[in-house]
Amino acid sequence: MYSATMDSATPRWGHDQRHLLTLDEAWTTIASEARRAAPQSVDLADAAGLTLARPVVAGSDWPPFDKAMMDGFAVRSDDCATSGATLGIAGLAAAGDATDQTLGPGQAMRINTGAPMPNDADAVVRIEDTGVSDDGATVTINVNVPPKKHVARRGANRRVGDLLLAAPMLIEAHQMAALATAGCARVSVYPRTEAAIVLTGNEIVPVGQSLAPGQIHDSNGPMLASLIRQFGGTPRRVGIVGDEASALREKLADALRSPVVITVGGMSMGTLDLVPKAFTDLGVEWRFHGVSMRPGKPFAYGRGPDGQHVFGLPGNPVSAFVCAWLFVRMTLRALMGHPCKPPHRLRATLTRMIEPKRDPRPAFLPGRFWNHSEAGEIVEPCAWGGSGDPFGLAMANCLIAIDDPTRGAALNESIEVIPITTDL
């Protein structure tokens, strides 16, 4: 493979058709480099959104005692084999009480949901199935009561040593509930990965700053910071740097303090595209430069002197987004404990034909996917003005994957789409 055999010290730089990797080759190369980060122990409150690094087993039975599942009366089922039994009321078992109360023959005890069962009681009768005497001294049981009725037995859900959560597993709200119930004050997780972002180009200025002639606002910085958070990582904005070699080198050296580095712009073959050489001078070994895809052809990937994952993204906002979604995402997620694989795809019926193109590179077009009540899962291409148009992308919730653009895609054809939002 081109990426694996090239001399990284003096890489053959450029992305003409002879040296473009296929998407599968690029994915395979990146996946071969991604390794999970070292686990860390964190407080449970800080674990949400992270990936569990070690399995969690039960340290005690759950429930930890026999407990009532209904408000009513705890009874001995032998006393209530037939309906109509009248029992003396022996007190109250409330949630949070100790379990040292004992129920004698012919007795019943008021009990709340979740309260420990009194000793020798083996069933609960719902309040609705009872009648209390006017003086409150006795209760009549209006149903026959089998053993274990409305009682959760100790260890019914989990026994000591049972597996509670396997690893790796994303810790979301419902996992947090299980971990808290099991008393896990700290858990072993893969930490959030920090990703440094460097924007290059004399024409780029921060959002909020007035534009001089020839300048444009930085769209990629906010977009990438948002994506990194969406992928589960932590963005670090190193800043914007112009096309000046020494200033660029300083920014890139700063960026290499993070385990993942993302640069935007300066990756093509123009006279001011200085990023590749600056990175090489700082010890980055490039695995490949150029992927057969549209948009995103100039995309590059390498490893820093301390193992940093370095991504060179094209400057156009749609190109940068597509490359981040297809390549950066899988690496960040792998470092944080997820499987390292390309984004999943869905199938949908195309609502409008896509014209054939002369360029044979696989294409990714902004689209709008939804589930129609009659037509099923459908996708409509978004109107957009090419890789420099972020407004068409803003209307999309998926990327339409066209493997052979020379053929195009027909109306009502079933095609693949890549979701780019969390609601698909």
Task: Indicate whether 17 pLDDT > 60.
Answer: no
Give residue 94's pLDDT.
93
Of the residues 301, 335, 369, the one at which a domain ends: 335
One domain for residues 186 and 44: yes
Task: Indicate whether 12 pLDDT > 70.
Answer: no
Question: Strand 346-350 and strand 414-419: pairing?
Answer: antiparallel
Q: Which residues, listed in sequence order, are joined to residue 87 by a DSSP beta bridge?
A: 139
Task: Indicate whether 187 pLDDT > 90.
Answer: yes
- Distance, CA of 409 to CA of 413 (rounded, Å): 7
> Considering just the CA atoms, what is the radius of gyration of the chain in Å?
31
| CATH code: domain of residue 302 | 3.40.980.10
Identify whether 224 is part of a domain.
yes
One domain for residues 204 and 185: no
Identify whether 72 is part of a domain.
yes
Helix (H, G, I), strand (E, B) or coil at 28: helix
Query: Which amino acid does the sequence have at 207?
Result: V
How many angstroms separate the Cα of 221 from the Cα of each of 135, 195, 226, 237, 271?
75, 12, 9, 8, 23
Residue 311 — very low, low, confident or very high, per pLDDT cuts 50/70/90? very high
Residue 74 — very low, low, confident or very high, per pLDDT cuts 50/70/90? very high
* Averaged pLDDT, 195-213: 92
Identify whether 316 is part of a domain.
yes
Average pLDDT, the chain: 92
- Distance, CA of 261 to CA of 194 (rounded, Å): 9
- Distance, CA of 84 to CA of 193 (rounded, Å): 66
* Burial class of residue 51, CB neighbours in 10 A (0-12, 13-18, 19+): buried
Domain residue limits at 264: 2-37+191-335
**What do you get for the CA distance between the two ends of the chain, in Å?**
35
One domain for residues 80 and 138: yes
One domain for residues 99 and 165: no
Count the neighbouring beta carbons within 10 Å of the beta carbon of residue 406: 11
Identify whether 340 is part of a domain.
no
One domain for residues 323 and 350: no
Identify whether 92 is part of a domain.
yes
One domain for residues 48 and 185: yes
- The pair of structure tokens assigned to 289 is 């430069």
- Distance, CA of 210 to CA of 225 (rounded, Å): 22
Summarised one tens digit per residue, pLDDT across range 317-366 is 999 999 999 999 999 999 999 999 999 999 999 999 999 999 999 999 99
Of the residues 190, 209, 243, the one at which a domain ends: 190
- Distance, CA of 125 to CA of 117 (rounded, Å): 12
Give residue 352's pLDDT.
95
| CATH code: domain of residue 403 | 2.40.340.10
Spell out the SS3 assignment of 247-276: HHHHHHHHHCCCCEEEEECCCCCCCCCCHH
Task: Indicate whether 422 pLDDT > 90.
Answer: no
Summarised one tens digit per residue, pLDDT across range 359-398 is 999 999 999 999 988 889 999 999 988 898 899 999 999 9
Residue 10 — very low, low, confident or very high, per pLDDT cuts 50/70/90? very low
How many angstroms separate the Cα of 282 from the Cα of each of 40, 144, 251, 279, 299?
29, 81, 11, 5, 19
Task: Indicate whether 7 pLDDT > 50.
Answer: no
Of the residues 282, 309, 335, the one at which a domain ends: 335
- Distance, CA of 147 to CA of 229 (rounded, Å): 53
One domain for residues 114 and 216: no
One domain for residues 228 and 254: yes
Summarised one tens digit per residue, pLDDT across range 104-157 is 999 999 999 999 999 999 999 999 999 999 999 999 999 999 999 999 999 999
Residue appearing with tokens 């990146």 = 30
- Distance, CA of 114 to CA of 140 (rounded, Å): 23
Residue 271 — very low, low, confident or very high, per pLDDT cuts 50/70/90? very low
Identify whether 424 is part of a domain.
no
Nearest Cα to Cα of residue 320 among 375, 371, 396, 264 = 264
Give residue 97's pLDDT.
84
Q: How many distinct structural domains can be found in the chain?
A: 4
Residue 423 — very low, low, confident or very high, per pLDDT cuts 50/70/90? confident
One domain for residues 140 and 258: no
| CATH code: domain of residue 130 | 2.170.190.11
Identify whether 166 is part of a domain.
yes
* Burial class of residue 262, CB neighbours in 10 A (0-12, 13-18, 19+): buried
Give residue 11's pLDDT.
47
One domain for residues 146 and 217: no
One domain for residues 225 and 296: yes
Identify whether 241 is part of a domain.
yes
One domain for residues 51 and 141: no
